Every structure is written in C-alpha cells, then in structure tokens.
Amino acid sequence: MPALTLAELQAHLGGTIRGNPDKTLIGAASLERAGPEQLSFVVSPKYLAQAQASAAGALIVSEALAPSLQTDSLVVDNPHAVFARALVLLHPEPRQPVGIHATAVISPDAEIGPGVSIAAGAVVASGVVIGAGSRIGAHCYIGPNARLGKDCLLHPRAIVQHGCQIGDRAVLQPGCVIGSDGFGLAWEGDHWAKVPQVGRVILGNDVEVGANTTIDRGALDDTLIEDGVKLDNLIQIAHNCRIGRHTAIAACVGIAGSTKIGAYCQIGGAAMIIGHLAICDRVTISAGSFVAKDIRTPGVYTSVQPLMAHADWKRNAAHLRHLDHLSERIKALEESLKNQRKIKE
C-alpha cells in the first residue's frame, strides 16, 4: 500500500486540512480498528464519541463535526464519498500486466485496443471489439460480436454473450452473465416451445454488475441498463427491462420482463417486481417489498410486513383469512344503517 501525506490526499480529494498536513497515512480502517498511520471517516454526530476515542492517524470529517475533534483531519462536504475516493488511492486494486496470456484464446479478427490485458483461460470470440485499457480476468468469455468500451474491468469468469454492448469503465464482478437467454416460452397444446431471444443487452458507461447477477438479453428489442447503474450480487433482470441512469439495486432483487425503472431509484434487497410495470424516477423501494403495480409518483414505497413474534403472526394470519367475509359484513351493516336513516327521515 502506498504511503500518502494528508496534503497529498488533499491534492487529489480537495477539502481543508485541520492539523498536520505532513501526517503520513498507510491504508484505511474503521474508527474502531484504525491505527495511528491509518485514515478513517465520520459521517454523523452519533459516531462522534467513537471518533474522539479512535486511534486513527487522520479523519475525513464534515465542517460541522471538525471542531469537536483533535485528530488531524481533512474537512469536506461529503465525508463518505470522499473517503471512498481516498480508498482508491490508499488501497489500489492489483493490476494484471498489459498483454495477452499464452493460454487465452483470441479470435484472429477480434479488435483489441491498446493497453488491454487478457488473463489466463479467457476466450474472446470472433468480431469482438475491446476498448483501450480494459482488463479481462481469468476464464472470462466474450461472445461473438460483443463490444466492450474503454477501461472496463471484467473479473474472473464474467460472461458477455454474443452481440451485447458494454460502455466505458464498466465493472463486471465474478460470475455475472450479461446476455443470457430470456425466459421466453410459447405453449403448444401439450408442451412449451422455446421462443428465440434475438435482442441484446446494452450497458451504458460506469455501470457495475455484481457477482452472479444475470441480465437477460431482449426477446426482440434490447435490455437496456443506462449510465451509472449499480447492481449488487445475485440480481435477476429479465428480458426487455430498462433501468434508468444512476439507479442502485441491492442483492437478490428479481425484476420480471419488460419492466421500466426510472433514474435515481433505490431498490432494497430481495424486492420482487413483476413484469410490464413502469416505475418513475427517484423511487425508493424498501427491502423485501413486492411491487405489483406501476409507481407514478416519486417517494418511498414499502409492502413488507414487519417482523413479529410467531404467535402474533399466526393470530394475525388467521384474521387475514377472514378479511373478505368481514368486509362483506361491514358492507351489509353500512347498508342497514343507511336504510334505517331513510326510515327515520
């Protein structure tokens, strides 16, 4: 790990130094575990006491919290985001050497840009274009006529199927699959017939796809993932979906086919979204929610039942079974009251 002074960090990250600009830092850690040569950060007053007790060599803090701390600090507007950028400097990701490993299989007509590295066992098929500076990990597969932009990073065993297009600076984590067949079937009287999936997957710039996440190719039109979308691990995005720019989706979400999700949305883990829905921009969906209709107004939406004691859940579930009957009884009572009022009048 490189050693950087607080002043050198400021030159990259901006902000204002409080304390010793020559403080040398090697790596970063949490407030609880950071040592005198490590950087940490504080985002909220509720962590102030922990920060005051921390042995961290320096902190990234907000202007509001800085006066309460004696530790050397870099004062910024958004400590969390700036700390993320600091981690890139203090914990640089290992880079594989530029060039093509002897065991990689590269089609003669593939176009490989300058500064590209392709690791052991990777397969690059016919007609593939890989942009400058991209890194292809071990045992990745890039199918015929697929295109990757500049400075992409494919971790080991990532798969990009035929014809798919990946924008610049994409990150594909291990085991993700871009362009698998959508679940297209037609019933033919006594069996299911497979419907060929002839669309593509198109990823915009700065998209990250988590480990073992799958994005199905379109049935006829393309599946589109716009710029800046961040996808966690183990997500399923079905054919013909469209995910708007800078939307973030947590692990284990399932999105059925032809769903359109707007820009700047946040979808919590294990949410389920049925197909052919439209969700507008700037919607937050809580973890575990089930979305069965369009969402046309920005805001926070939740459908999951809160955790409760098992005995309470059984009792409430028993009541839920009778809701339809109770609703009919209430309607009958309301009608009876209405008739009584008419008689009195």
Domain coverage including residue 21: 3-90
The domain that contains 23 carries what CATH number?
A: 3.40.1390.10
d(CA 221, CA 258): 10
**Structural domains of the chain, count:** 3
| Residue 202 three-state SS | strand
d(CA 197, CA 183): 9
Residue that terminates a domain, selected from 90, 107, 130: 90
Q: Are residues 235 and 108 in the same domain?
A: yes
* 12-42 residue pLDDT tens: 999 999 999 999 999 999 999 999 999 999 9
**What is the predicted pLDDT for the residue at 96?**
84
**What is the predicted pLDDT for the residue at 41?**
98
Q: Which residues are catalytic?
A: 239
| Residue 336 three-state SS | helix
The answer, yes or no, to whether residue 330 has pLDDT greater than 80, is yes
Q: Are residues 193 and 165 in the same domain?
A: yes
Angle of CA points 327, 330, 334, to nearest 5°: 140
Q: Are residues 57 and 137 in the same domain?
A: no
* 312-326 residue pLDDT tens: 989 988 888 888 999
Q: Which two tokens stand for residue 234?
A: 């183990």
Could you tell me if 140 and 154 are in contact, meaning their C-beta atoms sit under 8 angstroms apart? yes
The answer, yes or no, to whether residue 344 has pLDDT greater than 80, is no
Q: Does residue 148 or residue 342 have the better pLDDT?
A: 148
The answer, yes or no, to whether residue 345 has pLDDT greater than 90, is no
**What is the predicted pLDDT for the residue at 1?**
81
The answer, yes or no, to whether residue 206 has pLDDT greater than 80, is yes
Q: Are residues 163 and 251 in the same domain?
A: yes
* 70-123 residue pLDDT tens: 999 999 999 999 999 999 999 998 888 899 999 999 999 999 999 999 999 999
d(CA 204, CA 224): 8
Q: Are residues 213 and 338 in the same domain?
A: no
Which residues, 6+ apart, have CB-to-CB distance to 289 below 8 Å?
Answer: 268, 271, 272, 301, 302, 303, 304
For 12, list phi and psi in degrees, rounded to 5: -85, -35
Segment 217-244 mean pLDDT: 98
Alpha helix segments (H runs only) across the chain: 6-13, 48-53, 79-90, 310-320, 323-344
**What is the predicted pLDDT for the residue at 199?**
98
Residue that terminates a domain, selected from 90, 122, 138: 90
Q: Are residues 241 and 128 in the same domain?
A: yes
The answer, yes or no, to whether residue 61 has pLDDT greater than 80, is yes
**What is the predicted pLDDT for the residue at 310?**
94
Q: Are residues 283 and 318 in the same domain?
A: no
Task: Return the CA Rg of the chain.
Answer: 27
Q: Are residues 27 and 167 in the same domain?
A: no
The answer, yes or no, to whether residue 341 has pLDDT greater than 90, is no
For 290, list phi and psi in degrees, rounded to 5: -115, 120
To the nearest whole number, what is the mean pLDDT of the chain? Answer: 96
